[in-house]
Amino acid sequence: MDQPSVIHNTFVLERSYPKAPHQVFAAFADAAKKRRWYGDAENRDIDKFESDFRTGGVEHSSYRLKEGTPFTGVTIANDGIYYDIVPDRRIVTASVMTFGDRRISASLVTFEFLPSDRGTDLICTHQGTFFEGADGPERREAGWRTLLDRLAAEVLH
C-alpha cells in the first residue's frame, strides 16, 4: 500500500491572553467576533458564516479563495456541531471540511479556557482524520496557529 486511506493526527496548541476567560470565551460565542478572527481574511471572500452557539447548535462557513492564491475560486467549507459548551470554561466541536466538492477532513476540537495570573490560558486540542493525504495535518496545525494569533488581536480589540 503506497499511502494510508486516512491520516490520523492530534496536536495541542497553548496560548495565553491578557484578558479574563469570559472575554476570550466571548470571541467564540459571539458570531460577529468569531467571524472577524476565524472567517475574515484578505485572501478569501466569505460566502456564508453562521453560528448557532449552543450545545447541539451548528456552525457553517464557506469562502472562495481570491485571485492570486494557488487555488483561485475554489470554495472551502466547514460544517460543524457544538457538542459541549461550558460557559467561560470549555467548548467541544466536531466538523468536516470540504475543498471544492471533495471532503478532506473530519475533526474534533476542544478549547479549554483556564484562568491564570496573566488572564487566560487557552488549550486547543485538535484531533483530526485527513482524507487528502500528504501534508493535511501540517497545514491544519499551521492554520490553527494563525487563527489563535488572530484571536489574540480580536481579544485585545
For 26-71, what is each residue's pLDDT tens digit? Answer: 999 999 999 999 988 777 888 899 999 999 999 999 988 777 767 7
What is the Cα gyration radius of the chain?
A: 16
Residues in a beta bridge with 102? 99
In this prediction, residue 2 carries a pLDDT of 62
Beta-bridge partner residues of 123: 14, 112
Residue 24: what are its φ and ψ, rounded to 5°?
-70, -45
Task: Give the tens place of pLDDT for each residue, 87-115.
Answer: 999 999 999 999 888 899 999 999 999 99
pLDDT digits (tens, 9 = 90+) for 51-63: 999 999 999 999 8
